[in-house]
Amino acid sequence: MFENCEVIGTVHSQKLGTDVPLLGITWMSDEEWQRLAEEGAVENYIRENDHEPESLEEAFRWQREWLDNKEVI
């Protein structure tokens, strides 16, 4: 999973008693996370309801209800 990540340093772990690598992993911005959440909610709504939601809020509301009704395995 992290084979292609650059090692940008190390930090000493007292728990492990050794140095562990710090990886240069790109983080997703809050804005990107929100954009992807919006896209996903609309896509899920359309897939399950065969039409677009009237608003983004409707898609989010529907998705929350849909997830609340799913059984946890």
Burial class of residue 45 (count of CB atoms within 10 Å of its CB; 0-12, 13-18, 19+): buried
* Contact criterion met (CB below 8 Å) for 52 and 36: no
Residue-level pLDDT, tens digit, the chain, 73 residues: 677 888 999 999 999 999 999 998 888 999 999 999 999 999 999 999 999 999 999 999 999 999 898 876 6
Sorted by where each begins, the domain ranges of the chain are 7-68
pLDDT for position 9: 94
Structure tokens at 22: 């710090």
Strand partners, 11: 20
| pTM for this prediction | 0.61
User: Burial letters for 12-35: b for 16+ Cβ neighbours within 10 Å, e otherwise?
Assistant: eeeeeeeeeeeeeeeeeeeeeeee
* pLDDT of amino acid 73: 63
